[in-house]
Amino acid sequence: MDTSNFLVKPNTKVDLSKFHTGFTGNYKSKPDVKSDLKKNIKKMQRLQDMLYAEDKYSLLIIFQAMDAAGKDGTIKHVMSGLNPQGTQVFSFKQPSSEELNHDYLWRINKCLPERGRIGIFNRSYYEEVLVVRVHNLIGSEKIPKELINDKIWLQRFREINEFEKHLYENGTVILKFFLHVSKEEQKNRFLQRIEMKSKNWKFSEADLKERGFWNEYQKCYQEAISETSKKHAPWFIIPADKKWFMRLTVSQIIIDTMKKMPINYPVLKEDQVKKLGFYKQALENEK
């Protein structure tokens, strides 16, 4: 599966209207991807096992999207086969009073994956150039838009780029996914949440309020992705109207990325191998 068309190359000016949210490539339906997704999950298991065993590098996966695009489901279905011992998931919601008393990246640092682990962010520090920008928030206060200097967003893009470069240079490989859902599909999924009792808990009045800022969010996403997709921390724009294709695509990109990482099972030194032989013999001679 070729995923290069979903990659946002550095210095690309993104126009989300040109990305087809319902694209499914050569796949026609959910059953078509079932076998491939299952195979990919097994491949990810082996790659994660090597990453964990070598304990030199980490992988940070970031999911950003409009509401109901499928972040939770993608994490659930794509990462379902991974070893929980080497995986950690964090969701970033409205900052606490303690977090607001620090810089906006402070709460991120303590959630970064350790060496050997895969860290998954369900939303991330990118909220600081998305929801914060859409709603004109500085700290916990709403500021009139005319009083906000747009230079603050360029500053934050620079800070984020420098932060991600620092992580990369210290052994953390970064993947960023924007799950691109259409406004019509979001509407359908909201209606499902209202109509199905098992999904009622997922819907809130805030979902509708945020939907009213759709165009503003699209503009902010376009600029954020354009300014921060770098070779060391690329963005991928994933069609999200068909969840089954979205999940397969995400899994393939993760596999392709991990295959390029210099990870292998640790090789024992000669004296360690000899000790293993001794231990084996001792165990076999036990009465």
| pLDDT one-digit tens code per residue, 176-233 | 999 999 999 999 999 999 999 888 988 888 889 999 999 999 999 999 999 999 999 9
Name the band, by pLDDT with cuts 50, 70 and 90, for residue 36.
Answer: very high
Domains of the chain: 4-284 (3.40.50.300)
CA–CA distance, 240 with 173 (Å, rounded to integer): 24
Whether the CB-CB separation of 60 and 113 falls below 8 Å is answered with yes
Is residue 48 packed enough to be buried (19+ CB in 10 Å), middle (13-18) or exposed (0-12)?
buried
Q: What is the full DSSP assignment across 217-231?
A: HHHHHHHHHHHH-BT
Q: Which residue type occupies 173?
A: V
| pLDDT one-digit tens code per residue, 51-67 | 999 999 999 999 999 99
